[in-house]
Chain A
Amino acid sequence: MTLDLLPIGQPARIVAVDWAALDQDETLRLRALGLDAGAKISVAHRGVFAGSDPLAVTVGRMTVALRRVHARAMQVEQLQP
Chain B
Amino acid sequence: MSRRRRAALVGNPNAGKSALFNALTGARQKIANYPGVTVERKAGRLILPSGEPVELTDLPGSYSLHPTSPDEEVTRKVILGEFPGEPEPEVLVVVLDASNLEQHLVFAQEIIALGRPTVVALNMIDLAERDGLKLDPLALESALGVAVVPTVAVRRRGLTELADAIATAEAYRGEPVHPLTGLTERRLTAHAIADSAIVSETRRHRLHSKLDRVLLHPWIGPLILFGMLFVVFQAVFAGAAPLADGLTSLASRISDLVRGNFPAGLARDLVTDGIIAGVGSVVTFLPQIVILFFFILVLEATGYMARAAFLMDRLMAGVGLSGRSFIPLLSSFGCAIPGIMATRSISDPKDRLTTILVAPLMTCSARLPVYAVLISAFIPNRLVAGGIGLQGLVLFVLYVTGIVAAMVVAMLLRRSLTKGAASGFIMELPKYQLPTVKDIALGLYQRAWIFLRRAGTIIFTVTVVLWLLLNFPRAAPGQDQVDASIAGHLANGLAVVVKPIGFNRDIALALIPAMAAREVAVSSLATTYAVSGGDKDTSGLIAQLRHRWSLPTALAFLAWFVFAPQCMSTIAVTRRETNGWKWPGFMLAYLFALAYIFAGITYWSAVALGL
User: A: which residues have CB within 8 A of B?
Assistant: 22-23, 25-26, 28-34, 36, 38, 44-51, 53-54, 56, 60-67, 69-70
**Known contacts A44-B212, A61-B100, A65-B306, A53 near B426 by CB under 8 Å:** no
Given contacts A48-B221, A48-B311, A65-B427, contact A56 B216 (CB under 8 A): yes
Is the beta-carbon distance between B187 and A47 smaller than 8 angstroms?
A: no
Instruction: Indicate if the CB atoms of A45 and B427 lie closer than 8 Å.
Output: no
Contacts A48-B218, A48-B221, A65-B310; is A26 near B424 (CB within 8 Å)? yes
Question: Could you jot down 8 A-B contacts, CB within 8 Å?
Answer: A25-B347, A29-B63, A47-B314, A49-B219, A49-B222, A49-B314, A51-B218, A65-B310
Contact partner of B425 (CB less than 8 A), chosen from A25, A34, A36, A65, is A65
Q: Evaluate contact between B428 and A33: CB separation under 8 angstroms.
A: yes
Chain B residues within 8 Å of A53, by CB? 313-314, 317
B66 touches A28 (CB 8 A): yes
Name the distance in Å between B228's Cβ and chain A's nearest Cβ: 15
Contacts of A49 in B (CB 8 A): 218-219, 222, 314
Inter-chain pairs besides A53-B314, A63-B208, A66-B425, 9 sampled, C-beta below 8 Å: A28-B68, A36-B187, A44-B216, A50-B218, A51-B314, A61-B99, A61-B103, A64-B428, A64-B429
Complex Cα–Cα for A51 and B221 (A)? 13
Partner of B310, one of A26, A28, A54, A61: A54
Top 10 closest pairs, chain A to chain B, by CB: A32-B63, A63-B429, A45-B216, A28-B68, A61-B100, A29-B426, A26-B424, A54-B313, A65-B310, A23-B421
Smallest Cβ distance from B345 to chain A, in angstroms?
Answer: 14
Q: Is the CB of A36 within 8 A of B184?
A: yes
Closest beta carbon of chain A to B430's beta carbon, Å: 8
Establish whether residues B212 and A56, one from each chain, have CB atoms under 8 Å apart when the complex forms. Answer: yes
CB neighbours of B348 from chain A (8 A): 25
Task: Decide if B602 is an interface residue (CB 8 Å cutoff).
Answer: no
Minimum CB–CB distance for B76 against chain A, Å: 13
Report the minimal beta-carbon distance from A56 to chain B, rounded to whole angstroms: 6
Instruction: Report the nearest B residue to A66, measured CB to CB.
Output: B426
Contact across chains for A32 and B314 when beta carbons are under 8 A apart: no
Assign chain B's interface to a size class: 35 or more
Contacts of A34 in B (CB 8 A): 102-103, 106, 187
Q: In the docked arrangement, what's the CA distance between A51 and B217, Å?
A: 12
B513 at the interface (CB under 8 A from A): no
**Cβ contact within 8 Å between B427 and A64:** yes
Q: Is B183 positioned at the interface, with any CB of A under 8 Å from its CB?
A: yes
Residue of B nearest to A50 (CB): B218
Q: Are A48 and B222 in contact (CB under 8 A)?
A: yes
Task: Let me know if B429 and A31 touch, CB within 8 A.
Answer: no
- Tell me, rounded to whole Å, the shortest Cβ–Cβ distance linking A5 to chain B: 17
* CB nearest to A29 among chain B residues: B426
A25 CA / B184 CA spacing, docked (Å): 17
Within 8 A of A (CB), among B182-209: 183-184, 187, 208-209
Chain A residues within an 8 Å CB radius of B428: 33, 62-65
Is the C-beta of B323 less than 8 angstroms from some C-beta in chain A? Answer: yes
Which A residues touch B218, using CB under 8 A?
45-51
Contact at A54–B429, with CB atoms within 8 Å? Answer: no
Are A67 and B313 in touch, CB under 8 angstroms?
Answer: yes
Q: For B100, what are the chain A residues with a Cβ–Cβ distance below 8 Å? A: 60-62
Query: Given the interface contacts A60-B103, A64-B427, does A31 sit within 8 Å of B183 by beta carbon?
Result: yes
Q: Chain A residues with Cβ under 8 A from B347's Cβ? A: 25, 29
Contact call B314/A54, Cβ cutoff below 8 A? yes
Query: In the assembled complex, how far is the CB of residue A51 from the closest CB belonging to chain B, in whole angstroms?
Result: 5
Q: Please indicate the chain B residues that have their CB under 8 angstroms from the CB of A46 in the complex.
A: 218
**In the complex, what residues of A have CB within 8 A of residue B217's CB?**
45
Query: Do B221 and A65 have beta carbons less than 8 Å apart?
Result: no
Most chain A C-beta atoms within 10 Å of own C-beta, residue among B64, B99, B348, B429: B429
Please judge, given known A-B contacts A25-B68, A48-B222, whether A65 and B426 are in contact too, CB under 8 Å.
Answer: yes
- Specify which chain A residues have a CB less than 8 angstroms from the CB of B64 in the assembled complex: 28, 32
Complex Cα distance, B99 from A30, in Å, reads: 20
Q: Which residues of B contact A33 (CB under 8 A)?
A: 63, 103, 426, 428
Residues in B neighbouring A30, C-beta threshold 8 A = 426
Q: How far is the CA of A36 from the CA of B185 in the complex (A)?
A: 12
Contacts of B131 in A (CB 8 A): 61
**B426, A45: Cβ atoms closer than 8 Å:** no
Contacts of A69 in B (CB 8 A): 422, 424
Residues of A within 8 A of B209 (CB): 44
Contact of A63 among B212, B313, B314, B323 (CB under 8 A): B212
A64 vs B222: C-alpha distance in the bound complex, in angstroms?
19
Q: When the two chains form their complex, are residues B425 and A54 in contact, meaning their CB atoms are under 8 A apart?
A: yes
Query: With A44-B212, A65-B310 in contact, do A60 and B102 touch (Cβ < 8 Å)?
Result: yes
Contact with A along B426-443 (1 / 0, CB 8 A): 111100000000000000
Identity of the chain A residue whose Cβ is nearest the Cβ of B131 in the assembled complex: A61
Min CB distance, A81 to chain B, in Å? 13
Q: Which residue among B323, B422, B428 has the maximum number of chain A CB atoms within 10 Å of its CB? A: B428
In the complex, are the beta carbons of A48 and B424 less than 8 A apart? no
Q: Which among B64, B184, B208, B314 has the greatest number of chain A C-beta atoms within 10 A?
A: B314
Contacts of A22 in B (CB 8 A): 424
Bound state CA distance, A61 and B68, in angstroms? 23
